[in-house]
Structure 1
Amino acid sequence: MTITSKVLDRSAKIYVAGHLGMVGSALVRRLEADGYDNIIVRTRVELDLMDQARTAAFFEEQRFDYVFLAAALTGGIHANQTYRADFIYRNLMIEANVIHAAYSTGVKNLLFLGSSCIYPRDSAQPIHEESLLTGPLEQTNEPYAIAKIAGVKLCESYNRQYGTNYLCAMPTNLYGPNDNYDLQTGHVLPALIRKAHEAKVRGDNQMTVWGSGQPMREFMYVDDLADACVYLMENDVSEGLINIGTGTDVSISELAHTVMEIVGFDGKVVFDASKPDGTPRKLLSVERLSALGWQAETSLRDGIGMAYADYLKSLDR
């Protein structure tokens, strides 16, 4: 993997797929802040990326210079266990249609957003990119992980056969503006923010958290991810798989207490060990990214504070 320091033309035609989601909206914010003025977006109503013909026609009409593929169906443990068919089918269709349409219309540079769940459940920690496909996946989110692995292999295969430069970025657990705070489908951190806030408002003396509280997780503020993605694209990093994370992790128990402190809920935590923990530990190695000259800037405490402010705003939307 190499870096050639080639800043994008600010007028380059850039498509951000999934711009209304947490990651996609962060990418748009980052690009606009840097002066990019030719960013193309479409809502799901305007363009269903699961529709191959419509997706192909859209790419043929627009002829993009760069593509950020952040469109995906995502969710926490409950959603992944409940909607297993949806998670594998919808994500496979979206990534296959977009990646092939990009190749067919001459897009040389594309960044595919995957997930750290692509790695085996029992990977050595921290997880290096070479761990991919070296062991069984975590069963609670296996369909989603398989779909994302397929996206990685699609990019790798198009690069090898057609000479494209399709990079795969594997982010750690993300949180921040436009997150999903639904308790049934959201991820752990936004769910904790909502639980702590609602417990505070009700005057509860305790808050229940799924699992034992022992699993270790890494969390990254989504604007840091967007910064890393634009950095990789601007510097024309060559093809490959690259982890994007902070290099540090915390236990779910520690996370819950930090969220409670920031939200202002002074009750106690009750862990429901009858609920699944998921992977025991999931910390990404960021050696490859660090060697390219990038590192995350937002601390977990600062990020949670900004995320909580976003959640409060969402209550008025």
Structure 2
Amino acid sequence: MQSFNTSLSTPDFYLNGFIGLEVYFLWLSIAYIVIFSFAIAGNITLICIIKLEQNLHTPMYIFLCVLAVIDIGGCVSTIPKILQITLFNVRAISFHVCFLQMFSVLFLSAMESGVLAVMAYDRYVAICNPLRYTSILTPASITKILLVVFLRCIVLTGMFPVLASRLPYCSSTDVPQCYCDHIPVARLSCADITLNNIYGLCVAFLVVGMDLMYISFTYIMIIRAVLKLASKTARVKAFSTCGPHFTVILYIYTSSLLTYLINRFGQNQSQQLVVITTTFYIILPSILNPVIYAARNKEIREGYIKLFLKKTTHSIK
């Protein structure tokens, strides 16, 4: 049987994740528009606050800015196509755009995991070695750390679209998702995808597994250092500085594990459950991260208030 993805012709894929939910398309469209608007506005506002407030020009908030940029990218890479489906019922996505989206989603997810690991290191230095905080996390060292994370993610996730695009797609090109993900797309191939599965497991361990082990080790060291503090007030303050980061970690890694298990072993589960779970994993952090940091970080809250008051004052004038 001749495969479609030859040098002469490539197939369009069809994102059929919302099949059976057509009656809810209007409500889904409204929900995704609201999510997209809040995510973009929340993360851009967060970046602006950190840029405008001089006291927030510290490594922790620089990493938070990077996380906000990643969240914006996650929304931009998925929600416009989802809205195309729910508003206009346009499910087709070209062969090359599908694999570009696949790379974008996987790269941004890996970057988010890497930045969370770097933020754990930031908290470790701030609590366990506060006197050397600024000398350890200099602008040069921050740039090098982020560059290493970037290169790791681009090399490891860049292989996913390469491996998947080289597979022969001989019959069905109906992706049971609302965006192009590696395993759901690879399963459509008429060839053996053992290599794809093995590589996916290896990358999951090298990225999420290693990052999670590093974060766990870092927090063990942080907890040991905090418990040695003599003052209860100092212990509470130290733990509170880790609160937003720890909350984000719990949500992201729990949803990441759930999404991975559903994609790998959830073929017999409800298609709507699979779609909703995986979509929420990609999109919800974009809304939750700014909210969590605003709710649990005094400096960010004060920045929001100053920015809001400044806008209100200008509008009155």
| Greater relative contact order, per chain length (Cα 8 Å cut-off, separation 6+) | 2
Which of the pair has more CA radius of gyration? 2
Which protein has the bigger strand share?
A: 1
Q: The TM-score by the shorter chain falls in which range?
A: under 0.3
Q: Determine which structure has the larger helix proportion and give its number.
A: 2
